Amino acid sequence: MERFEYGTKDAAFVLLQMVDEHDLTSIEEETALIQESTGADFRLIACRVHDWNSELSPWEAPAVFGRQDFGSGAKDTLRAIIPLCEDRTKSYCIGGYSLAGLFALWAAGQTDIFRGTAAASPSVWFPGFTDYLAGQALKSRDVYLSLGDKEEKTKNPVMAAVADRIRDTYALLTEQGVNCTLEWNPGNHFRDSALRTAKAYSWVLKQWMEEDAAADSDN
């Protein structure tokens, strides 16, 4: 899998993000925003996805926009990125925007390797995903969720349920004891994706910095 790296190579905090061509045009801006917000040393690994609807979908589903159906390639994608997380002395956060955010949430239910999950405007309208979360506890300790306050204003009936589904997701994770937050951003789904993704990773990093500082003080 083609990947691009930003930040500090040997940092203890590692952020993984599934990206497409559009994401790559703003990934340096995103990295700078995270650095400005947190002041933390981190390594961001951006993994290039070529077939978005196939490689990030956990199971097959009919198209809800356009003509391309959703595949079931998430398992293969997760298998490809697991080797990037072999050093267990480091903390890993899986994240992304839109369907990549959905993939991140799904992946956090499959493995305990991700200490955090940063899901910015995730596609939680995806058919069957709320049921998946209800039956599969996420293994991440810290989870960030966000949505644009106008994302539900669409004529597509499946995608129009996204606000209800993000509230359901937040409630489920809170009930599971996950340290979770839900932030509402202004605008529709296509507004400020780099900023929203940076806010997602920044929140997770700040949780880790506080948790690690507290652990150090206890020792």
Model confidence at 219: pLDDT above 70 = no
Q: What distance in Å separates the CA atoms of residue 218 and residue 145, rounded to the nearest whole number?
A: 30
Judging by DSSP bridges, how do beta strands 42-48 and 142-148 pair with one another?
unpaired
C-beta atoms surrounding 44 within 10 Å: 24
Overall average pLDDT of the 151-156 stretch: 82
Q: What distance in Å separates the CA atoms of residue 11 and residue 212, rounded to the nearest whole number?
A: 14
**Per-residue confidence at 216, pLDDT binned at 50, 70, 90?**
confident
Which structure tokens are listed for 147? 């949505």
All domains of the chain, ordered by start, with CATH? Answer: 3-211 (3.40.50.1820)
- What percent of the chain shows pLDDT beyond 90? 83
Beta-ladder partners of 147: 184
Could you give phi then psi for residue 18, rounded to 5 degrees? -80, 130
**Type of residue found at 113:** I
**Per-residue confidence at 155, pLDDT binned at 50, 70, 90?**
confident
